Structure 1
């Protein structure tokens, strides 16, 4: 089930805190021209600008910085030249303060990222502990789990380097989901549900980082469905089935040409219909029918969708019959629903005759199959009461074929010519042998 491991992507490193540009001549211009102090050397005063072409200072910034320290400038006007040189250092401090005030948010980013990385590390450790504790009863299962554990460590390392690597998150979720298959339902350390829940968290994070990752939505829905099955027909299971249907819907929205997603969507709706109140059931069942039909339209020989459509139609027939028929004249009658159900189950069996489930279901609904009338034209038959040939008197009659051959459809089959002659079994057998 695990797809080929994609190349791990290198995420963009967090952008450094944006620094305010300092003009090369800003500090020298801050010193009043009337002061006797000599101008400092440019090499010792100038701060290297990020933009080498910037020659003119930013007048607005200069005015702003000087206005904040106006009183300090007046006091420094009478100081010796030696102290005046420290004026540049004061301006540098002012610029540093300004940059710090404006970059508080940016400066906090690395701390936030560090906290996020710590949380990511804790989640990774918890997931690895679950995978390390998985044991299997047979050698094949143990060998398979060793491969999964090795893969999980690689994805954990990738996420330590780049927490936004959604490919690593997606593949790690697959590993957790595969590991859950190696755990029996009665296991407690770890439980199957714990592994699936952790896989769902990884899928959630991967789809948050990449909302167009349709495979993640699809496999996430499968993991949720497996969790719902463990809970029977409870309120918690109902919520999980609803979540599964939403994820299947997203997967189909991102990739409409997916009969598997449509089929699974229909199955989730079918399971949900067994839990919800009766007033909601019919709508959900009919929606499930539409999903199975859509899957078959995309892949005409998709035997699973064909069989599932047969089962949901059978259940709808049972419910309709139990509730007293069809209140709406446009609705299909229970007998017609049974007949449609039998057709789809028979079609699934025809595609996969070796499937025991299909064979058992066909035995149950075989009697509900409609007789496929195939018109073969007019044949001649002897009069009733004279089954033994040769015959001198023949009547022109119309016959049909059902699913077993040319034989009697009802207990009494009358000639189509208007007479009341009844054809018995021996006459029909004779016709089936001589009119092949």
Structure 2
């Protein structure tokens, strides 16, 4: 099938170079593994950040490992312990074998599918046996109380984890298990419309089904369903960078399927979701990297379309900033390292970012507007400073800096916070406030879009400094 231009397909040329490195990363759930062509710059860009780790959370119990119906722990969500339903009722008596056989036909179908699970866990126990035991517990709970959203939710998790562990050659079983999990999530959210984690994991299950269908109309509809569930999850819990990141990934995947006229709007929305995730968690390296990949894809698309008013080189440079920051935060991730090799030359070396800002005279933040001066600024691992003639990178045009004026400088170690601001005392433009240990410093970007780039870049440099990774960033930009 011919791939649509732009978006996640924008950097198709680099996938082959980057993707083979993925196996060097720390182990992760099979749900998180990319199954299709990777997004721009490598596999990591299409990797959902999943919070489900059922087998890790399953309490070790000898009877569970032996497949017994007695005692043992249950499934625990990463969002906290759900209402655990054990195999015994309130007075401690175990359910009879007869009651366990009174499953409805769709219960039997689900159990048959779970029986297709293969492999063992880290302790050498049969995954199928553990998952089958857990499923029976939640089926029993539902038989006892049809209106228990937690039982439906936990059963859905078991089915979803089972789908991750089915025989690799049995895509139909995997899809059937995911479909069953989606039905259980739907029932859980019907019974409890505020169950954030059900919407979140339901969206992951739908996304996994979409990946199995390539770039087809059916996949497009599934991606749209997943996106709606991520949106609902964020509405219920706006403080979830993981949901925002996955929402952005879903949009990025959708952009590779829809008609070209819809692509740009979807890509811009994906950018806003990744940026929102980073603003909630400044060191969320996956969202940082994903923002870099989507900008790279946008740059490729812009280069091909020749759309006026948009600079592909500026988009490439922005992409490189985020990839460099992700690598600085996680230098052991081979995908980030490989991607950086491809985009490093797009940075304004030996700086991370170069651009124009309007600054007041030194030590006079409320000076009249006529005394503020627009000049070139450079950002590196040490901080932000006004450029002078000797600081100009060869590729940049000279700034207009008054030689009698003391250059504006802020050391990264002095930064307390960085934020946008709107104040009538500032000249026209997009206000930027950098609070330091010496007091606030104000600057003005040319527009709000330019301000977003400065905000992200300065915050990332400070985050890298706070995480003790400035030496890695210095190595990237100075070589």
**TM range, smaller chain:** 0.5 to 0.7
Map residues 13-162 of structure 1 onto 2, 5 A cutoff.
121-136=104-119, 142-162=125-145
- Give yes or no for contact 2:121–2:127 (8 Å, CA) kept in 1: no
1:401 deviates by: 8.4
The match for 2:452 is: none
The match for 1:219 is: 201
Separation in 2 of the partners of 1:165 and 1:366?
53
Aligned equivalent of 2:331, options 353, 359, 373: 353
Separation in 2 of the partners of 1:264 and 1:345?
18
Number of equivalences: 282
SS of the equivalent of 1:191 reads helix
Aligned equivalent of 1:269, options 233, 251, 263: 251
4+ runs of 1 displaced by more than 6 Å?
400-408, 411-414
1:209 deviates by: 1.0
Change (3 A) 1:131 1:413: closer
Separation in 2 of the partners of 1:411 and 1:300?
30
Aligned equivalent of 1:370, options 348, 355, 371: 348
The match for 1:339 is: 317
- Alpha-carbon deviations, 1:35-84, whole Å to 9, x = none? xxxxxxxxxxxxxxxxxxxxxxxxxxxxxxxxxxxxxxxxxxxxxxxxxx
The match for 1:109 is: none
Structure with the higher fraction of residues in helix conformation: 1
Separation in 2 of the partners of 1:221 and 1:273?
17
1:131 deviates by: 1.2
CA RMSD of aligned residues (A): 3.3
1:410 deviates by: 2.8
Separation in 2 of the partners of 1:359 and 1:336?
22
1:344 deviates by: 0.4
The match for 2:443 is: none
TM-score (structure 2 length as normaliser): 0.54
- Residue 164 in structure 1 maps to residue 142 in structure 2: no
- Residue 310 in structure 1 maps to residue 292 in structure 2: yes
1:245 deviates by: 0.1
The match for 2:447 is: none
- Give yes or no for contact 1:343–1:369 (8 Å, CA) kept in 2: yes
Aligned equivalent of 1:410, options 367, 386, 394: 394
SS of the equivalent of 2:146 reads coil
1:403 deviates by: 6.5
Separation in 1 of the partners of 2:187 and 2:106?
12
Aligned equivalent of 1:324, options 289, 299, 306: 306
Separation in 2 of the partners of 1:139 and 1:342?
38
Separation in 1 of the partners of 2:131 and 2:302?
48
Structure with the higher fraction of residues in strand conformation: 2
Change (3 A) 1:184 1:134: closer
Separation in 2 of the partners of 1:149 and 1:241?
29
- Give yes or no for contact 1:131–1:176 (8 Å, CA) kept in 2: yes
- Alpha-carbon deviations, 1:388-407, whole Å to 9, x = none? xxxxxxxxxxxx98969999
Map residues 379-398 of structure 1 onto 2, 5 A cutoff.
none
Map residues 215-294 of structure 1 onto 2, 5 A cutoff.
215-294=197-276
SS of the equivalent of 1:410 reads coil
Instruction: Could you tell me which runs of 5 or more consecutive residues in structure 2 were left unpaired when the two chains were aligned.
Output: 1-51, 55-76, 87-100, 355-376, 383-389, 402-479
1:130 deviates by: 1.3
Separation in 2 of the partners of 1:413 and 1:134?
62
1:141 deviates by: 6.9
Larger relative CO (CA 8 A, sep 6+): 1 or 2? 2
Separation in 2 of the partners of 1:228 and 1:306?
24
- Alpha-carbon deviations, 1:402-427, whole Å to 9, x = none? 9699999439999x99xxxxxxxxxx
- Give yes or no for contact 2:299–2:315 (8 Å, CA) kept in 1: yes
- Give yes or no for contact 2:116–2:166 (8 Å, CA) kept in 1: no
TM-score (structure 1 length as normaliser): 0.59
- Give yes or no for contact 1:174–1:199 (8 Å, CA) kept in 2: yes
Separation in 2 of the partners of 1:413 and 1:312?
28
Change (3 A) 1:302 1:122: same
Separation in 2 of the partners of 1:235 and 1:294?
29
- Alpha-carbon deviations, 1:322-372, whole Å to 9, x = none? 00133xx4xx41111000000000000000000000000000001001232
- Alpha-carbon deviations, 1:80-109, whole Å to 9, x = none? xxxxxxxxxxxxxxxxxxxxxxxxxxxxxx
